[in-house]
Amino acid sequence: MTERFQTVGNPLLEDPKMRVRNASVFYADKQAIFDVDLDIGKNQVISMIGPSGCGKSTFLRCLNRMNDTIDICRVEGQLELDGQDINDRKIDVVELRARVGMVFQKPNPFPKSIYENVAYGARIHGLTDNKVQLDDLVEQCLQRCGLWKEVKDRLHEPATGLSGGQQQRLCIARAIAVNPEVILMDEPCSALDPIATATVEELIHELSQNFTICIVTHSMQQAARVSERTAYFHLGKLIEVNDTSKVFTNPEHQLTEEYITGRIG
Amino acid sequence: MSDRKDIALRRAESLQKRHAAETRFRWYGRAAISFGMLCIVFLFTDIFSKGAGAFQQTYIDMEIHFDPEVLGLTPQSTPAEIEQASFGSFFKKALRQQYPDLTSRKEKRQLYGLVTSDMPLTLRNQVMAEPSLIGTTKSIRMIADDDIDVYYKYSYGRDNEDGTSVGRATELQQSIVAELAQQGRIGTRFNNTFFTAADSREPELAGIKGAIVGSMLTLMITLIISFPIAVATAIYLEEFAPKNKLTDFIEVNINNLAAVPSVIFGLLGLAIFINFFGLPRSVPLVGGLVLSLMTLPTIIISSRAAIKAVPPSIRDAALGMGASKVQTVLHHVLPLALPGMLTGTIIGMAQALGETAPLLMIGMVAFIVDVPASVGDSATVLPVQIFLWSDSPERGFVEKTSAAIMVLLTFLIFMNSFAVWLRKRLERRW
């Protein structure tokens, strides 16, 4: 084994929402993440940046056990949500994923109506008692995502008929309908045009008042715009974590500096 | 480096070759399709030209005097007395009265042979339903014997150079037919018998209803057994089973099963269902069980393909919201995969409908004259009926064979079109 890499900056926080210690991820025999220590603060936006293949998406998927769906993938280390170990085989992933929601890179609404997309999570988790409450919840979530005005007359039309940006906002509405504590976003804007991107970024900013958000992005401008802290990954190692302004103006590690000035990536 | 002109020349040359190759390839394709179409046209023309006649039936009108003395009955007779009466000799006598010139035994036999041997029974039933007929004279429309039927349909009124005729109608019978035709007492009508009767030794009385009902009962059993098992297998293997040596082994075996000759399934059915479990022979229940063994791999393979075609992003979306594995499959994957699964099922059913060999093994090749009423009754199925008729020496069965093929093809075409329609109908874009 190579000597353990020491992350520079401030990876640790006091009273974090999620605490990650010594996390390593293996695809069969190949190690994709090396001993990551990271704390994720309550109601904060943290962005993960880094060149392609550096493991930032893999790391994100550890946080709600989505890596379970990949047979050959193995996660080691200690991952905690409010002090509770989530990497424990015995934990109920259904409950975990209700608390830690996810928005994917490509908008993936269910091929059902707009209403059904948002209502689905509430239905399976039994969050509402009757149709009126469910209608209220759907309206509320769509409104928070700024989608209500655009879709209120076509709630029962297929969600796949929406534009890319609208679909992605619908996916976010669907995620918050379950009322999670943490929302993971895996490059949520990479399939969107700049205008739709701006809308989603605004939305992230608003949501950060009530939710803890981890966002993986390829765009450093986006990271700078939406997040309070930034983590830089390189070849499976967490190189540097710090306040966003610090990372982009005064990076401590040479690799970080090379990346943000455009020499890597 | 060669100069520019040279390169341009080479490029032009290679371009020409490419164009030629593309044109040639297009023609290969057209030739292949034309050959296929030609075969189909030939097949259909042959079947239709041979089978069309079976939908027409020759009838003969005869004046029958219901002589109370010959029958020994009066209009007041009870059904039991009518049952006892000898309609056979009565009918022969009635025919003889019409043709008093025919005196020799041989001539008389030819006379009786004009109409179907079932006639005395039909007359009895008519009298039973209407006893007031006794003592009256009535023109009765009778089904012609198969020899007369094929003669009238294919040879009568046509000049055959060598003087031969289709079927076994004798010269005497031919002259009677000519006489009847002059009087307008012989003709053809739509062949109801073909669709309302089961098999018979007499071609003019043989029908396809028994085989159609037998096929339906068999397919029903096949569907009830194979669809749920196959879908459960496909879902489990695709969504839940760990990928390891055991599941690989199962997968290989399922694919192999799809390639096993169907007659082997028949032998398996014979050994297990009939010899071991003691189920009866020749029944749709066993036929359906055997065919479901045969159809299972087909449905499993197409269902798995349909499940695989559901984009993983849909599964991610559902799992990411905290849906359990079963919820993900039932709420999202299954509805999207269902059209593909149903298509595979219908195609598997169509295959089962056309299957003959395994059913021969379990005795569904028996000669059965009753329309089956349940899955436990002896029955035969359409393709086996075709096989049986094609094997019969009577000329009358030739057209029946082709007509049965037409009925089978109609069912197959209908099922396959239904599969296409269903897929179009249920398909959702995402």
Q: Which of A69, A160, A175 sits opposite B429 (nearest CB)?
A: A160
Res A9: pLDDT? 84
Q: Evaluate if residue A156 carries a pLDDT over 80.
A: yes
Is residue A129 one of the residues assigned to a domain?
no
Q: How far apart are CA B69 and CA B71, in angstroms?
A: 5
Chain A residue with Cα closest to B429:
A111
Mean pLDDT of chain B: 91
Is the separation of the CB atoms in A207 and A185 below 8 Å? Answer: no
Those residues with Cβ within 8 angstroms of residue B10's Cβ, 6 or more apart along the chain or in another chain: none
CB contact under 8 Å between A94 and B429, yes or no, is no
A1 pLDDT band, cuts 50/70/90, is: very low
Helices (H), A50-193: 56-62, 93-99, 114-125, 131-144, 148-151, 164-177
Is the separation of the CB atoms in A97 and A65 below 8 Å? Answer: yes
pLDDT in tens, B370-429: 999 999 999 999 999 999 999 998 888 999 999 999 999 999 999 999 988 988 887 765
Is the separation of the CB atoms in A22 and A77 below 8 Å? Answer: yes
CB contact under 8 Å between B322 and A111, yes or no, is no
Q: How far apart are CA B169 and CA B147, in angstroms?
A: 5
B279, two tokens: 């189920």
- Could you tell me which of B153, B69, B67, B142 has the C-alpha nearest to residue B111? B142
Q: Which of B243, B327, B428 sits opposite A111 (nearest CB)?
A: B428
Secondary element (H or E) of residue B143: strand B137-143
Q: Which chain B residues touch A108 with a CB distance below 8 Å? A: 311, 313-314, 316-317
Q: Give strand pairing partners of A158.
A: A113
pLDDT in tens, A242-252: 999 999 999 99
Q: How far apart are CA B54 and CA B396, in angstroms?
A: 9
Over pLDDT 90: what percentage of chain A? 55
Is residue A151 one of the residues assigned to a domain?
no
Across residues A223-248, what is the average pLDDT?
92
Is residue A101 one of the residues assigned to a domain?
yes
Q: Which chain B residues touch A95 with a CB distance below 8 Å? A: 322
Mean pLDDT of chain A: 90
Is residue A146 one of the residues assigned to a domain?
no
Is the separation of the CB atoms in A232 and A50 below 8 Å? Answer: yes
Residue A78: helix, strand or coil by DSSP?
strand
Those residues with Cβ within 8 angstroms of residue B425's Cβ, 6 or more apart along the chain or in another chain: B339
ipTM above 0.90, yes or no: no
- Could you tell me which of B214, B208, B150, B157 has the C-alpha nearest to residue B362? B214
Res A3: pLDDT? 60
Identify the residue among B243, B310, B315, B321 best suited for mutation to test binding to A, counting A beta carbons within 10 A and taking the highest. Answer: B321
CB contact under 8 Å between A111 and B317, yes or no, is no
Those residues with Cβ within 8 angstroms of residue A95's Cβ, 6 or more apart along the chain or in another chain: B322
Is residue A211 one of the residues assigned to a domain?
yes
**Using CA of residue A102, residue A107, residue A111, residue A114, what is the dihedral sign?**
positive
C-alpha B382, offset from chain centre: 3
Q: How far apart are CA B235 and CA A39, in angstroms?
A: 40
Residue with tokens 């280390």: A77
Q: How far apart are CA B72 and CA B84, in angstroms?
A: 10
Residue with tokens 């239904």: B418
- Could you tell me which of B392, B400, B365 has the C-alpha nearest to residue B208? B400
Q: Evaluate if residue A129 carries a pLDDT over 80.
A: yes
Across residues A135-161, what is the average pLDDT?
91
Q: How many CB atoms lie within 10 A of CB B111?
A: 18
CB contact under 8 Å between A71 and B243, yes or no, is yes
Q: Counting beta carbons within 10 angstroms of the beta carbon of residue A49, is it exposed (0 to 12), middle (13 to 18) or buried (19 or more)?
A: buried
Instruction: Look up the CATH number of the domain holding residue A47.
Output: 3.40.50.300
CB contact under 8 Å between B317 and A104, yes or no, is yes
Residue A186: helix, strand or coil by DSSP?
strand
Q: Domains in chain A: how many in total?
A: 1
Query: pLDDT below 50 — which residues of chain B?
Result: 430
Res A137: pLDDT? 93
Q: Which of B243, B321, B336 sits opposite A120 (nearest CB)?
A: B321
CB contact under 8 Å between A97 and B322, yes or no, is yes
Is the separation of the CB atoms in A247 and A59 below 8 Å? Answer: no
pLDDT in tens, A30-80: 999 999 999 999 999 999 999 888 889 999 999 999 988 888 899 999 999
Res B74: pLDDT? 85
How many CB pairs lie under 8 A apart between chains A and B?
A: 68
Q: How far is B314 from chain A (nearest CA, A)?
A: 6
Is residue A50 one of the residues assigned to a domain?
yes
Is residue A160 one of the residues assigned to a domain?
no
Res B430: pLDDT? 46
C-alpha B210, offset from chain centre: 10
Residue type (1 letter), B85: A
Identify the residue among A62, A102, A182 best suited for mutation to test binding to B, counting B beta carbons within 10 A and taking the highest. Answer: A102
- State how beta strands B186-190 and B56-65 pair: antiparallel
Res B429: pLDDT? 54
φ/ψ of residue A141, rounded to 5: -65, -40
Range(s) of the domain holding residue A33: 8-106+181-260
Is residue A68 one of the residues assigned to a domain?
yes
Q: How far apart are CA A213 and CA A230, in angstroms?
A: 12
A145 touches chain B (CB under 8 A): no
Is the separation of the CB atoms in B266 and B358 below 8 Å? Answer: yes
CB contact under 8 Å between A104 and B314, yes or no, is no
CB contact under 8 Å between B331 and A171, yes or no, is no
Res A196: pLDDT? 85
Is the separation of the CB atoms in B261 and B360 below 8 Å? Answer: no
A213, two tokens: 């958000």
Q: Which chain B residues touch A120 with a CB distance below 8 Å? A: 318, 321, 323, 331
Those residues with Cβ within 8 angstroms of residue B421's Cβ, 6 or more apart along the chain or in another chain: none
